[in-house]
Structure 1
Amino acid sequence: MTVRASLHLDPARVVAPVSRRTFGSFVEHMGRCVYGGLYEPSHPSAGTDGFREDVLSLVREMGVSLVRYPGGNFVSGYRWEDGIGPVESRPVRRDLAWHSLETNEVGIGEFMRWADKAGVEVMYALNLGTRGVQEALDVHEYLNQPEGTHLAGLRGGKPYGVKLFCLGNEMDGPWQIGHKTAHEYGRLAAETARALRAAEPGLELVACGSSGSTMPTFGAWESEVLSLAWDSVDYISAHAYYEPLDGDLASFLASAVDMDHFVTSVTATADSVAARLKSKKRINISFDEWNVWYLSRHQNAPTPTAWEIAPRVIEDTYNVTDAVVVGSLLISLLRHSDRVTAACQAQLVNVIAPIRAESSGPAWRQTTFHPFALTSRLATGEVLDVKITSPTYATTRYGDVPVLDAVATHEPGSLTVFAVNRSQDEPAEVTFSVGAFAGPAGLAEAWLLTDTDLTATNTQDNPDRVVPQPLEAVSVDGDTVRVTLPPVSWAAIRLTT
C-alpha cells in the first residue's frame, strides 16, 4: 500500500530568508573532538599548525557556516588564558565536566586560526559558571580589541572580530559547574551583557535557555531570565537531543515534532515577556545544541577513576535511521527560520559527530554527514511556508503525527523541496504543483537517503556503505511534480523554475 500526500507551495508565502547560521556545528574540548579529531600534529595530513587537513576538507564539504566553541559543559570551568602564550609553558588542568586532562595545546588563538582556514564564523561561549563579568571582558579584549591594550598586545596581529557570544552554557542544569537559579543567572547574564556592550555595542549575545524541553523549569526559566536580561540580549538558546528510547522507532522518526513544539513554546514565552514589558523587541532562538545522541547509553556509566588526555567519549556510530532523523530535524529548523536564526549540530568530530577520525588513520563521513551537507548546499534564498496534506500514524510519545514532513526554499530560478517519509513500511507518493512559480519546471537534481538495512553504518573499513543516491522516482509533468519516497527515507529535490 502507498501513502498519498501533497504539498501546497506558493512563492508569496515566505517564512524568512535562509540563515546561513542555521548550518552551524559545535566544537568542545571533550573526548577526541579537538585532540585526535581536529588536531593531531603527528598525523600524515597535519599542516604545520598541527590541524588535520583531511578533517578540514570534510568540514568544508559539509558546508559548516558557524562553530560554537569551546563548550559545552567544558566552558564552565575553563580558564581561557591557559591557552595563550608559548605552548610549552601552558598548564595542564583538570576538566571536571568530562573527568579528563586538558593540555591547552590548542587554545583560543589556534582555534581562531583554524576557523579562518575552514571559512567558518565562531560563536564564542563564555565561562559564567566559575567566572563572570571580568573574565568575559578579558576574553573579549583578547579577541576583538584593536592594538593598544595589554590583552590585545598578547594576542598579536589583527583582531579576530567575533560578533556572537554565548553567555555561559546550560546554567539551568544541576550537572553544570556553577549551576544557578534562573534569577541568579538572569542577573549575571544581564550584567555581563551590559559590560560587553559597553566595550563593543554591536555584539550579538545569547542567553542560556533550557537544556531541554523536559527540564522541570522549562518555560519558567526562559521567562525569568529574559525578564531580567531583556534589554541586553538578542537570543535565547535551546538544546535538544533525540534517540530511539526502548526501541520506539515510530516516536524517534517523529523527533522533529518535539523540536517544533520546543521552538514554538520558547517563542511564545519570549513574546509574552515582550508583551509584559511593552517592548517591540523580538528575541530569536539560537538552537546551539541539537543532534541524535544515544544518551541513555552514557547516563549511568561510572565516572572514570583515571584522569586521561582526550579519552574516547560518546563516539556514537550512526545508522540510516539516525541520518533520516537528522534530515527531518533540519527541516524543522528551516521551517522556523523566522525565529531560529542560528543553530549548531553537536558536535563536529568524533563526539556524537557527523565526521569520524582515527589517530594516525583516516577520517570519514558518518551517515548523518550527508543530509547536513546536502541541506547546507541546496537550501538557498527564502524558506516557504509549506502546507502539507498527509495521513498520520500513531506514536507513543507525540500522539498522531503526519507520515510526511517537508519544507521548501526558493530563489529566482530555483526551488528545493526537502522531505521525509516517516512510515516504517509504506512508500509515500508526494504530489505538488509549481504552477505559482514563474516559468516551466525542470529537474536539476534529486537525492535520496535510505537503505533496505536501516541499521547500516559507515565505518573506517567501509566509509561509503551509506551515501545519498540519485532519486529516480521523481517526474515533472507540466506544473505537477510527483515523487515516491521509500519507507524511512529523506530526500532533497531541486527544480529549476
Structure 2
Amino acid sequence: MTQTARITVHPSFVVGEIDRRIFGSFVEHLGRAVYTGVFEPGHLTADADGFRGDVIDLTRELGTSLVRYPGGNFVSNYFWEDGVGPVEDRPTRIDLAWRTIEPNTFGTDEFMRWARKADVEPMMAVNLGTRGADAAANLVEYCNVPGGTAWSDRRRANGAEEPYGVKLWCLGNEMDGPWQIGHKTAEDYGKLASQAAQAMRRVDPSIEFVVCGSSSREMPTFGEWERVVLEHTFDDVDYISVHAYYQERDGDRRSFLASAASFEAFMHEVVATADAVAARRHSPKRLKLSVDEWNIWYISEFPGEDNLALLEEPRLIEDVYSGLDAVVAGDLLATLIRNADRVAVACLAQLVNVIAPMLTEPGGDAWKQTTFHPIALTAAHAQGVALDARVEGPTLATDKHGEVAGVSGTVTWDAASGSLVAILVNRTAEPVDAAVEHVGFADVALVEASVIVADDNVRGASSTDAASDLAARGAAAAPRALEGVTTADDVSTVPLLPESWTLVRLTARVA
C-alpha cells in the first residue's frame, strides 16, 4: 500500500549556511589507507611524489573538501618527528594502535603535498595520549611559522619553503576510550587539552581547535564526559567532536535503516550539553560540532587489536558495502546538512580502503564502492543554506531506536545559482508518495531526479574478492533516473521507492 508524506519548506526559514567542510574525509595510518591507498610509488598512475593519481581523481569526484590526518587511534602514540626529513633517515616503528609496522615513508610533509594536489584542506591531529603540549606546539611551529625558528627552519630544510597554514587542529583522539593508547579520565584530558590548546595558540593565534567528545553515544561516560571536558576547555576550543558508526546487527534491518535518527539525537544531545556549560558560565559562545568520524562500519567483524598480526600494509577493516549501506550512508550525510546550524565539520571515516567509499588494488585499479554515489551527488548539489524542512508522514517502528520518522527530508537552497535540492530517504518497506511543498518559491522546474534503492545487503567477505567483482558491486548501486516526478504550482510530487535514497534537483527563484 502506498503511503503519503509532506515536506514543507520556505526560503525565509533557514537552518544555517552549509559549511563545505561538512564534506570532509579522513586518512589514518591504518591498514592500506596510506600505503597502497593514497601513496604507492611505482604505481602506473603515481606522480613524482608517489601519490596515486587515480585516488586523487576519485577524491575530487567524491567532493572531498577537507581531510583529517594522521589519526585516529594511530595518533595517540605517534611521534610526528619520525615522519619528516630525509626518508632514508626515518625510523621504522611499531604502531601500538593497530599493531602494524610503520615505515614512516609518508608523514607530515607528504600529506601536505598530497592535500594540495587533491585540493583539500588539511585537518591535523596531535598526540595527547603519550605526549603533551610541547610536542603539539612544535608541530604547529613546523607547519605554520614562516621561518626563523628551529622547527620552521627544519621544515624549510626539508623542502617546504612556505608554511602550510593548517587552520584546524584536533586535540587528540577518542581519549575517553580504554582502547586508546594513553586514554584518560575526563578531568585529566580536559586539563591537558586546555594546556595544549593554549601552547599551540601562542605559536599561531589564528588556529582553531576540536576537543574530544565521546567516541560513541553508547559510552557509559557519554554526556558527563562532555560536561567535564568542556568545563576545562570551553574558552580554549571552537568545536567538540562527535564520532558515530553504524551497522546492521542480527538482521535488524529496520533499526539499521533508522540509524540517522539515532545520529541526529546524538548530535542534539552533545549540543545540549555544550549549551548547558555555556549557560552555567553565562557565556554567549555557542560551540559547533566536528563530526570528524562517521560512517558504516561492520565493527562486529573486526577481530580486535590484540588479535592482529604485526605486519606492514595489512588489509584491515576493508568492509565491502551494499546498496542498503549506500541508502543509510546517504541518510547520515543528509542529516549532517539538516543540522547545518551546529555542524561545521564532518569527516567520512575513511577515504580509501579502510571502511571507505573507494578501494584500490596494489599495482592495480581504484574503484567506487556503493557508498561513493550518494556522498558524491550530495557534495556536488547540496549548496547554499539548509532550509527548515518540516516532514509529516509515516513512522517506522524499530527495536533499537523506538518509533522514528519513516521519511527523512533535507532541503537546500542556493540563491546564487537558483538551485533547490531535496534529499528524501524512505526508510520504510512501502512506497511513499511525497509532496514537497516549496512555499515562497516561484518558477520551480525539475532538472533531474536520482534514486538509489537498497538491496538485500549481501555483502562481500572482504576486499580480497576479485577486484572486478568488487567494482561491479559498486557500479550496480549507481544512481538511476527516478521517473514520475512532477512539479506544479507550489508542490513537487516525488514517488519514493521502498528503502531508497532520492535526490531531486529543481531550479527556482524566491517569489
For normalisation by structure 1, the TM-score amounts to 0.97
Deviations along 1:260-292, whole A, 9 cap, x unmatched?
111110001000000111111111110000000
Give 3-state SS (helix, strand or coil) of 2:307's partner. Answer: coil
> Distance between the aligned counterparts of 1:201 and 1:468, measured in 2?
45
1:321 matched to which residue of 2? Answer: 324
The answer as to whether partners of 1:456 and 1:466 remain within 8 angstroms in 2 is no
Counterpart of 1:400 in 2: which secondary structure?
strand
- Equivalent residue number for residue 366 of structure 1: 369
How far apart, CA to CA, are the structure 2 residues paired with 1:193 and 1:393?
44
Which residue does the alignment assign to 2:21? 21
CA distance in 2, matches of 1:300, 1:115: 31
TM superposition shift of 1:453: 4.9
Q: CA deviation at 1:82?
A: 0.6
Q: List, as ranges, runs of 4+ consecutive aligned residues in structure 1 with deviation greater than 4 Å.
A: 299-302, 451-454
Amino acid at match of 2:202: A
Partner of 1:186: 190
Please tell me the residue identity of whatever aligns with 1:481: S
Q: Distance in 1 between matches of 2:269 and 2:303?
A: 27
Asked whether the 8 Å contact 2:373–2:478 carries over to 1, the reply is: yes
Q: Classify the secondary structure of the residue corresponding to 1:231.
A: coil
* Equivalence map 1:13-162=2 (5 Å): 13-156=13-156, 157-162=161-166
Q: How does 1:97-496 map to 2 (within 5 A)?
A: 97-156=97-156, 157-299=161-303, 303-304=307-308, 306-412=309-415, 413-424=418-429, 426-437=430-441, 439-450=442-453, 453-455=456-458, 459-460=470-471, 463-496=474-507
Answer yes or no: is the 8 Å Cα contact 1:449–1:468 preserved in 2.
yes
Question: Deviation of residue 212 (structure 1)?
Answer: 0.3
- The CA deviation at 1:196 is 1.4
How far apart are 1:454 and its partner, in Å?
4.6
- Distance, in Å, in 2 between the alignment partners of 1:348 and 1:444 is 30
Q: Does the aligned pair in 1 maintain the 2:320–2:459 contact within 8 Å?
A: no
Counterparts of 2:381 and 2:459 in 1: how far apart (Å)? Answer: 25
Whole-angstrom CA distance in 2 between matches of 1:64 and 1:266 = 25
Is the Cα–Cα contact under 8 Å of residues 380 and 411 in structure 1 kept in the other structure?
yes
CA contact (8 A) 2:24 2:65 kept: yes
Determine the C-alpha separation between the residues in 2 that align with 1:463 and 1:329. Answer: 19
Describe the SS at the equivalent of 1:177. coil
Distance in 1 of aligned mates of 2:225 and 2:290 = 16
| Contact 2:327 2:454 (C-alpha < 8 Å) held by counterparts | no
The corresponding residue for 2:7 is: 7
Alpha-carbon distance in 1 for matches of 2:312, 2:369? 24
**Distance of 1:136 and 1:474 partners within structure 2:** 53
Paired positions, count: 494
Report Cα offsets for 1:29-73 as digits up to 9, x if no partner.
Answer: 000000011111121111111010011100000000010100000
Q: CA deviation at 1:487?
A: 0.9
Tell me how far apart the structure 1 counterparts of residues 304 and 73 of structure 2 sit (CA, whole Å): 18
- Distance in structure 2 (CA, Å) of the matches to 1:364 and 1:212: 30
| Residues in 2 aligned to 1:126 and 1:240: alpha-carbon distance in whole angstroms | 21
**CA contact under 8 A between 1:447 and 1:471: conserved in structure 2?**
yes
Q: Deviations over 1:326-370 (max 9, x none)?
A: 011011111111111100010000000001001011100000001
Moved more, 124-133 or 36-45: 36-45
CA displacement at 1:452 relative to structure 2: 5.4
Residues 462 and 276 of structure 1: CA distance in aligned 2, closer, same or farther (over 3 Å): closer
Q: Could you tell me which runs of 5 or more consecutive residues in structure 2 were left unpaired when the two chains were aligned.
A: 461-468
* Cα distance in 1 between the residues matched to 2:91 and 2:304: 31
Segments of structure 1 that go 5 or more residues without pairing to the other structure are none
Superposition deviation, residue 104 in structure 1: 0.5
Contact residue 362 and residue 460 of structure 1 kept, 8 A: no
Displacement of 1:301? 7.5
SS class of match (1:459): helix
Kindly provide the amino acid, as one letter, of the partner of residue 144 in structure 1.
Answer: N
In 2, Cα distance between equivalents of 1:453 and 1:260: 25
Give the Cα separation in 2 of the matches to 1:75 and 1:301.
15
Judge conservation of contact 1:456–1:465 (CA < 8 Å) in 2: no
